[in-house]
Structure 1
Amino acid sequence: MSLDKAMHIFIAEVHNKSGGEYHPNTLSEIVISIQHFLRGSGRFDNFLDDTDFAYMPPVLDAKMKELSRMGIGISRKQADIISAEQENEMWERGILETDTAKMLVDTLLYSIGLNFALRAGQKHQNLQVGTNSQLSLNISKDDGRRYLQYTEKASKSNIGDLNHRKITPKVTRAYENVDEPERCLVKIFEKYISLRPPNGKSTALYLRPKERATETVWFDAVPKGVHQLQQVVEKLCKAAGFHGNFTSHSLRATAATRLYQAGVDEQLTELVEKTGHRSNAVRAYKRTSTEKMKDECRCAI
């Protein structure tokens, strides 16, 4: 049997562990993964080329359309946004705070993710301190206000290749909050940096809390793992008793949504700079609040 026909049969009959159908995108990714595996064995077939594979591409296409008609994979589970009221509750209840090493590093991640609209745990794990840091403390020449600046390195929308050589990296700022200093990212960042081990053995931003913290050193020179970072937002919201799909992506969605609700259009520089989007994909992160929908309904009446 030819590889083309074998893949044809595979696409037609494959099911997940529970016996159900795979989502269309998952099915496509399985095919690409098999192709990648075979290339490691010296085969360089292109399963999606209907010149070399007469059976498989149209079968995969038809199968994906059939699954879509069945409603499989159409809806996408989105991360829920965190409302200003929910965030305020977390601060008031001490779920967000900086008095212990564990809460300091978790609160730092929350604040950085929200202020700089970072995507997920891997993006946080890539953050560094020292000469290669994406974060820098500065003072505004205009009004003397201090701010923390984030300068993006490589990202999903700017991977640094020839096609992206003219794209300006994302640069965004979080200014000092003088009204609520305990919630100020600038002060949280400064406190965290001051309590890191002084030897500089690890350049990773997020470090593990020490089992026995001293007055001046709260953290070991050991980076927190990406899975630990990915779970921070979920654990914070769970501790607050919030129900929903709260993930590290919630911070990015929340940042875009709050700007949108404040009247900042997605085409304006402020929102694009904050999220780093290069296309209208930013719309997927914006959610309309209940009050805003009520206002729009009143206008339509």
Structure 2
Amino acid sequence: MKRLTAKGLGTKTKQAEPITEESENTLWEKNMFGDSTSQSLLNTDFYYNCKLFGLRACDEHRSLQVEQIIVDKDQIGDYIEFRGTTAKNYNGGLYHRSVEAKNIRHHTTGDLPRLYNTYLSKIGNTGPFYRRPLPEKDNDNLRYSSQVIGVNKLKTLMKKMCESAGIEGYFTNHSGKRTCATRLYEEGIEEQEIMRITGHRSTKAVRKYKRPSQEMLSSIENVLDPPKKIKLAQNSEVITPSHPILNSRPHAVVNGILWQPPQQKQREVKTNMMVHGFEQPTVVSINVFKLEVVNQFTYRGSTIIDNLVYDAEINTRIVIARQPRQTDEKGMRL
């Protein structure tokens, strides 16, 4: 096993990718979601059962019953509710009497409750949730058989809808549950709340499902990328090692090119500078902003003069030392 690992075999596990927000919009635009056909309506309910309730790849979908999905309204608004029963990590036995079944109520203001109600009205009030879609007949484009979708067909639902929409990547039914955990992770939701929806009982297990978004990965890559070249100001020139300015002025050159450092947190911008030992006036610009030359300035509490005399700094210290100490009611120094 160690020899195979040393050769690079088995070091990378192939895992299903989450559905990004952009890809989800594509699925809607390509009519993979919606109620245009019986298959698109089935896809919609399947995907959002994964995303809203964190249902597992196949077992929880396979055992899902119509009675477990409730679409109703309360004082907050419309909601879709999932009432869990037994699951992979909850069998309802004596050992799990202290563990609660997963029950999630999701409030929404969108069109999702109507789509769920439409599907439920077509398949009836009892029995398995996922039924085999039928082709359009007599101007009825939403027809379903009483026959349950086969396990092999159910396992490939996510893959086929992504392929039909032209979305590239490795997608399985696990992508739905991973999408749920990843979206919540990106929004900064606490792990305990993510575990409540996904049904995980340990943080180690739920962390396997969380994936950074492409925006987060791009931010990391931008931080680690080499510094980017900046555009030189108009009428300026590239400084080379043989340039005369290097013999008379302070300089910072990397391979003869002026570089822009990576973006950092915003700091206080200095608008002036002080020079010493130059006969000709020194001109320094930052992003075409010319710094003002002064003969003295104060930096971090210390006063510096261009003739390098410490009189101003000493006088400042003497004035501070002569000031009376301020104390509180107990005589403690403030």
Say whether the fold is shared (TM-score over 0.5).
yes
Normalized per residue, the structure richer in helix is: 1
Q: CA deviation at 1:279?
A: 0.3
Q: CA deviation at 1:171?
A: 1.6
Q: 1:172 aligns with which of 90, 104, 107?
A: 104
When the two structures are aligned, how many residues end up with a matched partner?
Answer: 223
Contact 2:38 2:142 (8 Å CA) reproduced: no
Q: Which moved more, 1:98-107 or 1:209-218?
A: 209-218
Q: 1:203 aligns with which of 116, 127, 133?
A: 127
1:282 is matched by which residue type in structure 2?
V
Q: Indicate how the Cα distance of structure 1 residues 293 and 75 shifts in structure 2: closer, same or farther if over 3 A, else same.
A: closer
Residue 265 in structure 1 maps to residue 202 in structure 2: no
What corresponds to 2:37 in structure 1?
100
Q: Provide the C-alpha distance between the structure 1 equivalents of 2:141 and 2:70, rounded to a whole number of angstroms.
A: 22
What corresponds to 1:136 in structure 2?
70
Q: CA deviation at 1:66?
A: 4.8
Residue 279 in structure 1 maps to residue 213 in structure 2: no
Q: 1:151 aligns with which of 64, 83, 98?
A: 83
Q: CA RMSD in A?
A: 2.5
Q: Which moved more, 1:162-171 or 1:281-290?
A: 162-171
Displaced runs of 4+ in structure 1, greater than 6 A?
Answer: 298-301
Q: Provide the C-alpha distance between the structure 2 equivalents of 1:291 and 1:216, rounded to a whole number of angstroms.
A: 39
Q: Provide the C-alpha distance between the structure 1 equivalents of 2:9 and 2:92, rounded to a whole number of angstroms.
A: 35
Listed as ranges, the gaps of 5+ residues in structure 2 are 224-262, 267-334
TM-score by length of 2: 0.61
Q: CA deviation at 1:278?
A: 0.3
Q: Provide the C-alpha distance between the structure 1 equivalents of 2:183 and 2:173, rounded to a whole number of angstroms.
A: 16
2:207 is matched by which residue type in structure 1?
R
For residue 36 of structure 2, give the secondary structure of its aligned residue in structure 1: coil
Q: Which has the larger radius of gyration?
A: 2
1:228 is matched by which residue type in structure 2?
K
Q: Indicate how the Cα distance of structure 1 residues 274 and 286 shifts in structure 2: closer, same or farther if over 3 A, else same.
A: same
Q: CA deviation at 1:217?
A: 6.7
Q: CA deviation at 1:69?
A: 4.5
What corresponds to 1:235 in structure 2?
160
Q: Counterparts of 1:1-301 in structure 2 under 5 Å? A: 64-129=1-66, 133-141=67-75, 143=76, 145-178=77-110, 181=111, 184=112, 186-196=113-123, 203-211=127-135, 213=137, 215=140, 218-266=143-191, 268-269=192-193, 271-280=194-203, 281-295=205-219, 297=223
Q: Indicate how the Cα distance of structure 1 residues 97 and 163 shifts in structure 2: closer, same or farther if over 3 A, else same.
A: same
For residue 195 of structure 1, give the secondary structure of its aligned residue in structure 2: helix
Higher RCO by CA contacts (8 Å cutoff, separation 6 or greater): 1
Q: Provide the C-alpha distance between the structure 2 equivalents of 1:217 and 1:293, rounded to a whole number of angstroms.
A: 41
Q: CA deviation at 1:299?
A: 7.4
Identical-residue share of aligned pairs (%): 33
